[in-house]
Amino acid sequence: MQKRKGIVLYLSYAVILSFLTFGSITIIRGINNLNITRRNRAAQQALYLSEAAMHTVSYNLAQSVANFNDETSSPILTSSPLSLSTLPTWYPPDTFIPSDFTVTYTCQILGSEQIITDSLGAVTNCLLYEITSTAAHKTYDVSVTLKQIVSREKNYTFQHAVFYADDLEMIPGAAMTLSGKIHCNSDIYIAATASLTVNTDYLHTAGDFYNLRKDDGTRPTGSVYLKIFGTSPSVYNTIKQSSQYMDSNNSNWTLGSQTLWGGSVKSSSHGITTLTLPDIGSIQPTGYYATNAGLKIVKTSSGTWTITHDSTTVDISAFPTGTITESTFYDNRQATNVTVVDIDISKLNSSGYFPSNGLLYVTREDATTSKPNGVRLKSGSTLNAKLTTVSNDPVYIQGDYNTVNKKGAAVIADAINILSNNWSDSNSSLALSSRTPTATTINSAFVSGNVPTPTGGGTYSGGLENYPRLHENWSGKTLTICGSFVELWPSSIATAAWAYGGTRYTAPTRSWDYDSSFNNSANLPPFTPFSVKIRAIIAWWQEAAT
């Protein structure tokens, strides 16, 4: 009996031990499986973080190049791993990195810049970069290293007829024809009251393409003719086909638009992406253009002049009398008097102070949204040499500009205003009937801000057809512009909304076109800004993972 009890007790202990052993194994296996799961999750996170780091470095690279930084000494470049926090711009924000990971990168130039010229002479500057990114977990022995070779591609914005960073609206009242490449980083709204003919193989938007008004969502009844790709002479198809409209609201847009226009019209659904552009800081008094100006003119808030030529201070008295003066007149769009720095180009030509590098920068320290003072260019029919004029204030161009022995010219400003050959300051505050222009011609590329139509509708921006701000009764008169229309930012000084008629202006006969001589980069204005694209799918591989 006693022996049986001992056997039972022994068996009981054995069973308990077996359960304990099995339980321990199960617990250990569970812990191991949990650790494996956590490690696998960490490895997946590391892969995603490393990919995100690649995009962050590419974004910073594009921003740096577009804003004129010297690539060979760029802070983006590094051969030793650096934390992403050293980059000047985060995208997405730095909060995307979990606290239990470190993420580093390297970025190096490969080879030398290559220049690709298309059949029209338009230039793309290409340079290869190798980017490495590593994401490592701080606890687990987990890291992923990726490598990518990307192509940095720079294109001159002035080799486009139209280049918009924001929504591009083209809704002219009178018949209008436009030629040359068109690119928009956002949405395009295109329609016409009479007709609009767009003669280009390159009408691209990184957003959507609408045959509507953005301000109120209506569809004007005029016809819009878009060129069929590669046709010569040009053949066009309209947006309206039978009872349907071929735009991004059409369920067959992606395929139907290519069938209708053969590839000349493309949107984000066809792979068009945004291009990186200079920011508004480039035109500020301490920005790129002011820093590099061959001639810099500042009217200080205390009323004095600060003028430098080739980095040497020059007194205003050194210029021929009347070269740099001041005037005040009434701006009917802004509904206030404005005081401007007047630059007489004809006198500047012979002054001995024409900017040797072709870059003129002018600013007023007293310019504000309530007091939108600015700059005026006068007597500019002849330029001594190629000239780019830049201001962070509104710029007014009075009379024919760059019409004699035309040269590469540009005006870059908060807003572009055009005053005719017949403009008179003394009539500026009188009725519109007292401001009668005569035909005027401007040969210049423009970079300007605008006052955008609000998202969701509201006051119309005025659209491309009102890109230059007018102040006269232009009805029946012709305004000729040959150049390039580039919009990079909202206006920050001249912010009054567009409006038509009343005391403001009436529209001219628009003879506007792209200056095809810009296709040859030798003819471009000095310091032409670039758009930048990082083409990522050159080579991509996972170098290491643990």
Residue pLDDT, tens place only, 6-54: 555 555 555 555 555 555 555 555 545 545 566 778 888 888 888 888 9
What six digits make up the tokens of 305?
A: 């002049």
Whether 524 and 538 share a structural domain = no
pLDDT band at 325 (very low <50, low <70, confident <90, very high): very high
Whether 128 and 212 share a structural domain = no
Of 247, 270, 293, which one is at a domain's C-terminal end?
A: 270
Residue 251: predicted pLDDT: 96
Residue 118: predicted pLDDT: 79
Whether 298 and 153 share a structural domain = no
Whether 71 and 140 share a structural domain = yes
What six digits make up the tokens of 187?
A: 């949405």
Average pLDDT over residues 497-519: 96
pLDDT at 89 over 80: no
Q: Is residue 166 part of a domain?
A: no
Provide CB contacts within 8 A for 317, sequence distance 6+: none
pLDDT digits (tens, 9 = 90+) for 340-376: 999 999 999 999 999 999 999 999 999 999 999 999 9
Q: Is residue 173 part of a domain?
A: no
Of 228, 246, 270, which one is at a domain's C-terminal end?
A: 270
What pTM value is reported for the model? 0.89
What are the counts of helices (DSSP H) followed by strands (DSSP E) for the chain?
Answer: 4, 35
Whether 486 and 520 share a structural domain = yes
Whether 309 and 209 share a structural domain = no
Answer for the pair 506, 124: CB distance below 8 angstroms, yes or no: no
CA distances from 338 to 343, 375, 409, 450 (A): 15, 10, 25, 18
Q: Is residue 181 part of a domain?
A: no
pLDDT band at 221 (very low <50, low <70, confident <90, very high): very high
pLDDT at 255 over 50: yes
pLDDT at 276 over 70: yes
Percent with pLDDT over 90 in the chain? 79
pLDDT band at 539 (very low <50, low <70, confident <90, very high): low
Q: Is residue 177 part of a domain?
A: no
Q: How many domains, in total, are found in the chain?
A: 3
* Residue 304 phi, psi dihedral angles, 5° rounding: -95, 170
Cα–Cα distance measured from residue 44 to residue 51, given in angstroms and rounded to the nearest whole number: 11
Whether 384 and 326 share a structural domain = yes
Cα–Cα distance measured from residue 420 to residue 378, given in angstroms and rounded to the nearest whole number: 11
Nearest alpha carbon to residue 299 among 373, 231, 352, 203: 373
Whether 151 and 216 share a structural domain = no
Residue 142: predicted pLDDT: 87
Name the residue range of residue 251's domain: 187-270
Of 243, 270, 297, which one is at a domain's C-terminal end?
A: 270
Whether 235 and 383 share a structural domain = no
Whether 362 and 491 share a structural domain = yes
pLDDT at 77 over 50: yes
Residue 194: predicted pLDDT: 94
pLDDT at 93 over 70: no
Q: Is residue 261 part of a domain?
A: yes
Whether 262 and 298 share a structural domain = no
**Highest mean predicted confidence (pLDDT) among 36-50, 51-65, 72-86, 495-509:** 495-509
Q: Is residue 163 part of a domain?
A: no
Q: Is residue 180 part of a domain?
A: no
Tell me what the pLDDT averaged over the chain comes to. 91
Q: Is residue 172 part of a domain?
A: no
> Chain centroid to CA 395: how far?
20
Whether 263 and 385 share a structural domain = no
Residue 34: predicted pLDDT: 46
Min mean pLDDT across 92-96, 307-311, 439-443 is at 92-96
